[in-house]
Structure 1
Amino acid sequence: MLRETISNDFFTILLMAGLFIVAAAKATSPKRFHDFTTVLGNSKYLKIYSREQKFFDKFDALLFTNLIISVSLLAFICYKFFTKSNTISPEIMFKISFGICIYILIKVLLERLIGSLFEMDDMIDQYLFQKISYKNYLGIVLIPMNALLLYSFKPTLTFFYVTVTLLFIVVLIGLFTSLKAHQNLIKYNFFYFILYLCALEIAPCIILYKAIIPK
């Protein structure tokens, strides 16, 4: 039985879907989107819109959808590069997207649950808003990167290192912003902060790494 393949047309559709979703987010809230694009160098967006956040926010939901698409495409490109495979089934693509989505959502729900248990709802909500905002920003950054990797040139190990480094820098900026905003609270609850990092930031990454990378 021949293995089902996915042509570049499929990825073109996914890339266009990501761009359409980002355009829809901009059309929904033009001013907010403008502020969002400067989130890396300006805390204005985080200060203003963290106070207006809802349990379900259309703007964040649209950008989160693009994040899932963009990260799934990057995961496929990495899979294709490191396994030297030119084929992949649609089922695998769906599992990658579904797995990434469920992983992020479960992690957010656990963090909200912990916030409720320790009566830190307001702080956790602000912290999660900051993390989600930076993740959504990564989703936009990944659109041109994925396009380059798929159509412009053959991926190399050096390019992957550069890509991961850039993404890691964005994550570090988000983490630094969160630490700076809550430095007094962290200072007086340092033990619980370290426990949180180990349980909900480091441990899930290790488990995910062990699940994906074969022994």
Structure 2
Amino acid sequence: MLKHLIVIFLALIPVQLWAQTDSTPPPVTQPKPVIRKADSVKRVAPVAKPAADTIRRLADSAMVKPDSVKRGADTVVPVRQLTWQEDTLYQRLFRNAYLPIGKPGVFMISQQWVRESKDKLFYVLVGLLLILGFIRASFPKYFTYLFMLVRQTSFRQKQTREQLLQGRLPSLMMNILFLLVAGIFVSVVFTQKKITNIPFWYLVLYSILILAGVYLLKFLFLRFTGWVFRVSEAAETYIFIVFLVNKLMAVVLLPLVWLLAFSEGDFNVIVFTISTFIIVLLLLYRYILALAAVRNMVRVSPFHFFIYLCAVEILPVLLIYKVVFSKMGLSI
């Protein structure tokens, strides 16, 4: 029995020692401080939006800008510095063949474009048509005899000529119409072919005055020549033929002036060619008809008639043309 008590006592001694070692009190933990909500919230000042220049500087600084990259111990390979234009987003959005952004500007001097208005010319040509229509409506017989005389095979029939000579007023109006149409035709041709740099309406005025002066001098010269050489009838016949062909030329050229003034390109060239051909044909008709009529009254050879054409028809026009343009100091 005693042995059993000693064994139990010896077995309880280590348990008691372990209990004494683990019976140390736990560390005292201090309470956590209570943080109020008002102290944990901090006021943040509003951030201003960066300007466009600042954004661009930041973008430039964000790009890779190394000056060189080392390879090995001694080798230094330069690296090209990137710019903001070479960014992938920029290339996708703005790099276009029709938008040369980033390229140097092109310096170019250009003249101010002035719209060419032909309204005045349109209304002037409408006025010429009204004048022709007024003459045609007021003097219908004059137009009938005018074209009847052209279709006659012989000029010896004096009845039609006498009936035309009786119409002084329509003859004067048709002569004025010829001067206006011929002056505008010459001005349109000179302007389109760039023969002279005179303003258009000044050129129209000069052309009308030159034509009026040429035919007035021709009329006076023929009258004076017929009186001096006692061939007044032949001179009157030639004067009548000259102004007759001029009246026909005014009627024929008026629609061609419309087409020539308001056309361009190949059609303009065709109209100009047709107009030139008609003018040359009418002039040849006038000279042939005048030679046939005058030779019946005066003995004139074709050679002398050609000399007369050069001295009276062609030379005065060239002289007046040269004098007018040389006085104005303009080159043609």
Deviations 1:47-106 (A, max 9, x none): 33433526x921111111111111111111111122188982533322222222122112
2:136 to 23, 26, 31: 26
Does 2:290 correspond to 1:178?
Answer: yes
1:7 partner SS = coil
Aligned partners of 2:119 and 2:149: how far apart in 1? 33
1:91 partner SS = helix
Structure 1 residue 143: deviation in Å?
0.7
Aligned partners of 1:5 and 1:111: how far apart in 2? 47
Aligned partners of 1:69 and 1:100: how far apart in 2? 9
Kept after mapping to 2: 8 A contact 1:40/1:173: no
User: Looking at CA atoms only, which structure, 1 or 2, has the larger radius of gyration?
Assistant: 2
Aligned partners of 2:127 and 2:154: how far apart in 1? 29
Deviations 1:130-185 (A, max 9, x none): 11011111011111101111224446555433321211101111222222223333
**Could you tell me which residue of structure 1 aligns to residue 308 of structure 2?**
196
Please, what is the CA RMSD of the aligned residues?
A: 3.3
User: Kindly tell me: are residues 199 and 87 of structure 1, through their superposed partners in 2, closer, same or farther at Cα, counting changes over 3 Å?
Assistant: closer
**Could you tell me which residue of structure 2 aligns to residue 169 of structure 1?**
281
Aligned length: 211
Instruction: Give the TM-score normalised by the residue count of structure 1.
Output: 0.80
Residue type at the aligned position of 1:115: G
Greater Cα offset, 41-50 or 148-157: 41-50
User: Kindly tell me: are residues 203 and 92 of structure 1, through their superposed partners in 2, closer, same or farther at Cα, counting changes over 3 Å?
Assistant: closer
Greater Cα offset, 158-167 or 59-68: 158-167
**Could you tell me which residue of structure 1 aligns to residue 118 of structure 2?**
8
Deviations 1:6-49 (A, max 9, x none): 83221122212221222222233211212213443336897334
Structure 1 unaligned runs (5+)? none
**Could you tell me which residue of structure 2 aligns to residue 160 of structure 1?**
272
Structure 1 residue 210: deviation in Å?
4.4
1:131 partner SS = helix
Instruction: Give the TM-score normalised by the residue count of structure 2.
Output: 0.55
Greater Cα offset, 117-126 or 135-144: 117-126
Kept after mapping to 2: 8 A contact 1:6/1:87: no
Does 2:148 correspond to 1:35?
Answer: no
User: Kindly tell me: are residues 198 and 89 of structure 1, through their superposed partners in 2, closer, same or farther at Cα, counting changes over 3 Å?
Assistant: closer
Does 2:222 correspond to 1:111?
Answer: yes
Structure number with higher helix proportion? 1
1:77 to 188, 204, 213: 188
Structure 1 residue 114: deviation in Å?
1.1
Aligned partners of 1:208 and 1:87: how far apart in 2? 16
Residue type at the aligned position of 2:124: L
User: Kindly tell me: are residues 131 and 9 of structure 1, through their superposed partners in 2, closer, same or farther at Cα, counting changes over 3 Å?
Assistant: same
Does 2:172 correspond to 1:66?
Answer: no
**Could you tell me which residue of structure 1 aligns to residue 205 of structure 2?**
94
Kept after mapping to 2: 8 A contact 1:74/1:146: yes
